[in-house]
Structure 1
Amino acid sequence: MNLHEYQAKELLRKYEIQTPYGQVAETLNEVNALAKDIKNPVVLKAQIHAGGRGKSGGVKVVKSKEEALEFSSKLLGKNLVTYQNQPSGQPVHKILFEETENIINELYFSILIDREEEKVCLVVSSAGGMEIEEISKKSPDLILKEFCNPITGLMDYQTRELANSLKFSADLAGKFNKFAKSAYKLFTENNLSLLEINPLVINDANDFVALDCKISIDDNALYKQKKLSELRDWSQDDSKEAEAHHAGLNYIALNGDIGCMVNGAGLAMATMDLIQHSGGSPANFLDVGGGASAETVSKAFRILLSDKNVKVVLVNIFGGIMRCDVIAEGIINSAKDVGVSIPIVVRLEGTNVDDGKKLLKESYLNIHSADNLTDAAKIAVTYAKDQK
């Protein structure tokens, strides 16, 4: 789960991490109220869950109320498309007004989980404000890392080593130690999966200021972070993903035209791979779970069919916990209830599989059984191509 920048900065301030003073506007009237007394330049930032806002017209320094209103009127209530959320973009419902800072230096700073090391990792670079992915490829020597022992946490010697590598003065090194320790505490106490501050700037008062911030919370820990989970902005998620979440389904929208309904994450990944290998393109990842019921299948069909790009539905179910004949009945009833008109390709395997296939055949619906997953993928790809 991601936070908006203004929400992330509110959390930073709770841990005594300095940020520019800012306020949020949701309407043009609120923009007008915040902008009427502009004396010094302020930064306006569209609030969406995507990077690349600056390059896409979502960030601007303004010097007057007129400029602020012009900028905000072009964004509020509309979608902002960046390289991270194209082609549709995400809706802008809030504009963040922030004071500008007198910047002496820019840094990149982040804390994340390193899966290979199985530790929390601090990443710092003198190339702040730039694309860190490109920096890591072109100038890997500029990327500094410190791995934290899960028992002892972030140690003073580690922040000193980073400060020495960045050639900080003694005074600045002390301030960096305090900042990094606060950021690490924030990260661990709130079960974050990512804390990224880019740029982290040093201002003319020789203080560290988080000029921008991205925070992601581990979804598996949201039950422990009730207050943070309430901050979720569902408008930033794909509408189908939001509906699936509330229905208890694991769904991720993709850009293909073959809708996938599978029980089991590993089987779902294999299904998507085989569709791609067969020359097709999956429209989604959807795991309905091992104990899929007729109601679950019906909800899944509705979500799949809400995607206008879907031309075929591929159902791949292993009947272990539930019998294949029961699953087949659920598919048939759901297809009738939802009114599925596009082809449905079904691959069943497991208990009572022959009975399940017989029910599908005798349903006289646009349902086609496959003997194995490879055949199912090929059949689905063929139907998808025929409907283009």
Structure 2
Amino acid sequence: MKGITDEQADKMASNLGFTGNSHSQAAEQIKRMYEFFLSVDATQVEINPFGKTPSGDVVCFDSKISFDENAAYRQKDIFAMDDKAEVDAREIEAEKNNLNYIGLDGSIGCFVNGAGLAMATMDMIKLCGGEPANFLDCGGGVNEEQVHKAFALLLNDKHVNSVLVNIFGGIVNCATVATGIVNAAKALGLNLPLIVRLEGQNVEAAKKILADSQLPIISVNGFEEAARKAPLIYTVYIFYFCQPTCFACHHPSYPFVPLALLLI
């Protein structure tokens, strides 16, 4: 890799308005900034302002630096200085379990594999009139323990009133996810409506696991169908599962889902 040349640095210094001795100082600092960018695996090195003191010295008065998290293994000293005080505690917990989580302001908890599918899921939810409560990408090698941790994160959010799982099993084994969902739902005492769309590797076995669990899981086949039901399902769930007069015949332990849930 050629990197930045003296000619390029000189041109940048000239474009910034430096002249005389200040010009050579600025060009030198521009080259050093580029070398620093590479040496620390940065994704951004922003100097603002980059200026000159009354005595003529060129100074980087302020800076903002972002580092590539994928390079944390070789930039241990830098990442050891990371101050987590201003980071959402849920994001920290997710990171410990190799989950990518970002909290949002909506009410539909999302559990998805792959960043692209996660973004598409949130877009589809909004298109269907709902609001996602989070971005959560479980990645391609998700295991049952990660599914449990992911559900714990979702259920600890007081704004979440339903959960949508959208998994495409290319690398991921759908049966593993389904087993994790069932175990997590039972262990955490899931009391919110849960919509699950699984597709791909071992999907038929996964659907059987969900069906045999006797949990009130809404299993759907289509991506759009899942997103369309998510904004409406909480109202129906409250009506059927939470009214005292209906409790005896619509208790969640019964191995069926009310017809209304299938029709929305």
CA shift in 2, pair 1:366/1:250, >3 Å = same
CA contact (8 A) 1:257 1:384 kept: no
Matching of residues 165-204 of structure 1 within 5 Å: 165-204=15-54
Matching of residues 24-39 of structure 1 within 5 Å: none
1:276 correspondence with 2:157: no
* Partner Cα separation in structure 2 for residue 274 and residue 375 of structure 1: 10
Q: CA deviation at 1:243?
A: 0.6
CA contact (8 A) 1:341 1:366 kept: no
- Which residue number corresponds to residue 379 of structure 1? 229
Q: Partner amino acid for 1:367?
A: I
- Which residue number corresponds to residue 87 of structure 2? 237
Could you list the per-position Cα deviations for residues 267-307 of structure 1 after superposition, in whole angstroms to 9, with x for gaps in the alignment? 22221221121111212221212332221110100111222
Could you list the per-position Cα deviations for residues 169-204 of structure 1 after superposition, in whole angstroms to 9, with x for gaps in the alignment? 211101111211221111111111111122223111
One of 140, 162, 183 as aligned partner of 1:312: 162
Relative to total residues, which structure has the larger helix share, 1 or 2? 2
* Partner Cα separation in structure 1 for residue 149 and residue 205 of structure 2: 24
One of 123, 138, 142 as aligned partner of 1:288: 138
CA contact (8 A) 2:22 2:52 kept: no
SS in 1 for 2:8: helix
Q: Partner amino acid for 1:303?
A: L
RMSD: 2.0
Could you list the per-position Cα deviations for residues 138-188 of structure 1 after superposition, in whole angstroms to 9, with x for gaps in the alignment? xxxxxxxxxxxxx22222212222232333221110111121122111111
Which runs of 5 or more residues in structure 2 are unaligned? Answer: 239-264
Could you list the per-position Cα deviations for residues 212-251 of structure 1 after superposition, in whole angstroms to 9, with x for gaps in the alignment? 2111011111211111111111222211111110111122
1:212 correspondence with 2:59: no
* Partner Cα separation in structure 2 for residue 154 and residue 212 of structure 1: 22
Which runs of 5 or more residues in structure 1 are unaligned? Answer: 1-150
SS in 2 for 1:348: strand
CA contact (8 A) 2:9 2:28 kept: no
* Partner Cα separation in structure 1 for residue 193 and residue 225 of structure 2: 15
- Which residue number corresponds to residue 244 of structure 2? none
- Which residue number corresponds to residue 341 of structure 1? 191
Q: Which 4+ runs in 1 deviate beyond 4 A?
A: 320-323, 384-387
Q: CA deviation at 1:322?
A: 5.2
Number of residues of Structure 1 aligned to a counterpart in Structure 2: 237
CA shift in 2, pair 1:339/1:154, >3 Å = same
CA contact (8 A) 1:319 1:327 kept: no
Q: Partner amino acid for 2:131?
A: S
Q: CA deviation at 1:211?
A: 2.2
* Partner Cα separation in structure 2 for residue 318 and residue 159 of structure 1: 48
CA shift in 2, pair 1:157/1:353, >3 Å = closer
Q: Percent identity?
A: 46
Relative to total residues, which structure has the larger strand share, 1 or 2? 1
Range 336-345 or range 162-171, more displaced: 162-171
Give me the TM-score of the superposition, normalised by structure 2.
0.82
Q: Partner amino acid for 2:179?
A: E
- Which residue number corresponds to residue 125 of structure 1? none
* Partner Cα separation in structure 2 for residue 323 and residue 165 of structure 1: 55
CA shift in 2, pair 1:351/1:219, >3 Å = closer
* Partner Cα separation in structure 2 for residue 352 and residue 154 of structure 1: 51
Q: CA deviation at 1:325?
A: 4.0
